[in-house]
Amino acid sequence: MDFMTELASQQRIATMLDQRAHDLLLGHSFAHQQIGFIHTLDIDYGKPMKQRTLLEVEVAAQQKRQQNSTAHHKYRAQASKQLHKVIETAIFKQLEDMDGVIQNTIGIEDNVATMLDILAVKSVSVGRLEPLINDSSWLGRELVSLVNLPYYRKQRSKTTSVKVDSPALALRYIGLDNLQLVIPTFAVRHWMPHSTEPFPLLKRRLRDAAMANAIAAQKIAELNDVNPIHAFTLGMLIDVGRIALVRLYLKTFEQVWQRKVQIAREAQQKNLHTALMELKPDPLFLTTLLSNKSLELSAKVIRKMAFQYLPFDHVMAQLVHGVHQSSDVFPMSEVMLKARCYSQYLNLKHHQLIEEDEVEAWFSYHQFTKNELKTLETSNFTNLAIQID
């Protein structure tokens, strides 16, 4: 196989695995089903696989899985298609108001962006952070609970094991080096949806993915002379678009669905009412929305956060438009692509949804070095490596 053909094949595998990792966020059996579905959909690998569009997907899936299906199934698929048309329009309408998305959908406070910015500067001091943390009562509480965890109290007990009860004291115990990791982590956790029903594991998977992404970014940055704190912070923030879309979809589904049910009931459309009562949020619609839109939305949110010292806007623009479009790839963009790949790989591997040859093609596509892979293999991706004394 010549170099160009091999590259094209690796790129196809990379795209497919990225999609599979998105599917897995919504559930193991769904991701598994999609692998089977994709293979039945399109056997001719000569041409690239059809892009799944949001609306065709639901009907195609229903038809595929229920070709011998009853009239009721067809009717329900149609009702879902109509419902999702309205939902899609409503979501895109809401996305036009970025301030609304930031304040109401995600709940990002101005002072969090300011804190992340201050933490990125060499001259940072605890004194500059304190007033900002006092304004964020939830963050103060999180830091106090962190310092009082038995694990860290044991670390401190050499000097004193008093129970810390004020954010100001917690800040001093945790120290600046740790705060550079802790504050972005707590901020992103705070923005997570409270409930992700009917996808109960989605919240935890979003949280784990952000953590693995940030830690992988930090490790890869350290090996490539890229600022590891900047890399960790962007690794945490890069999926903020996903958080927004999950929240938007679940909320919009509920609102549109309730209205449609009420209209069907009042108009005494019994069949429609029955079909609607059986509909739930659709994993296929959501995974397609996430893989098509989340990066672009993250870039918009990060731009709105208006960082002065964190050089993220150009990197995000490059990631959104595709690195291969630009002749000069920023080192930070490469770090982000590798970190995303590695954190997705960890999750797919954990669920046994990736083959050895796929891993090999994916890693060569992202040009991982032996040293990077060796470092990542021995890293802990579930906990922050912090010492509190």
Q: How far apart are CA 59 and CA 69, in angstroms?
A: 12
Q: How far apart are CA 34 and CA 146, in angstroms?
A: 40
Q: What is the pTM of this model?
A: 0.89
Q: How far apart are CA 337 and CA 343, in angstroms?
A: 10
Gyration radius from the chain CA atoms: 23
Phi, psi of 48 (to 5 degrees): -60, 150
Q: What is the pLDDT of residue 150?
A: 84
Percent of the chain with pLDDT over 90: 75
User: Residue-wise over 267-280: b if at least 16 C-beta within 10 A, else e?
Assistant: eeeeebbebbeebe
Q: What are the residue boundaries of the structural domains of the chain, listed by start?
A: 3-41+52-96+192-377, 108-175
Checking if the pLDDT of 271 tops 80, the result is: yes
Task: Encode pLDDT of 309-334 as tens digits.
Answer: 999 999 999 999 987 766 789 999 99
Listed range (70-74, 126-130, 233-237, 360-364) with the worst mean pLDDT = 70-74
CB 165 within 8 A of CB 209: no
Q: Quickly list H helices, 227-330.
A: 228-237, 240-266, 270-278, 283-304, 313-321
Q: What is the pLDDT of residue 364?
A: 95
Percent of the chain with pLDDT over 70: 89
DSSP state of 194: S
Task: Encode pLDDT of 241-257 as tens digits.
Answer: 999 999 999 999 999 99
Residue labelled with tokens 């106090």? 144
Phi, psi of 285 (to 5 degrees): -65, -45
| Beta-strand runs (E) in the chain | none
CB 315 within 8 A of CB 330: yes
Checking if the pLDDT of 103 tops 80, the result is: yes
Q: Mean pLDDT across the stretch 144-164?
A: 78
Phi, psi of 247 (to 5 degrees): -60, -45
Please report how the helices 331-350 and 228-237 are oriented relative to each other, as an axis angle in degrees rounded to 10.
60
Checking if the pLDDT of 8 tops 60, the result is: yes
With CA atoms as reference, report the closest residue to 170 among 187, 184, 156.
156
| Token pair for 312 | 């993220």
Q: What is the pLDDT of residue 42?
A: 43
Checking if the pLDDT of 66 tops 70, the result is: no
| Three-class secondary structure of residue 84 per DSSP | helix
CB 291 within 8 A of CB 22: yes
CA angle 333, 285, 38 (to 5 degrees): 80
Checking if the pLDDT of 48 tops 50, the result is: no
| Token pair for 334 | 């490469």
Residue labelled with tokens 């952000």? 210
Please report how the helices 176-191 and 110-119 are oriented relative to each other, as an axis angle in degrees rounded to 10.
150
Q: How far apart are CA 339 and CA 341, in angstroms?
A: 5
Sign, CA dihedral 311-193-286-55, equals negative
With CA atoms as reference, report the closest residue to 291 among 47, 43, 31.
31
Residue 247 Cα distances to 91, 202, 278, 284, 365, angstroms: 10, 11, 21, 16, 32
Neighbour count for residue 227 (Cβ, 10 Å): 18
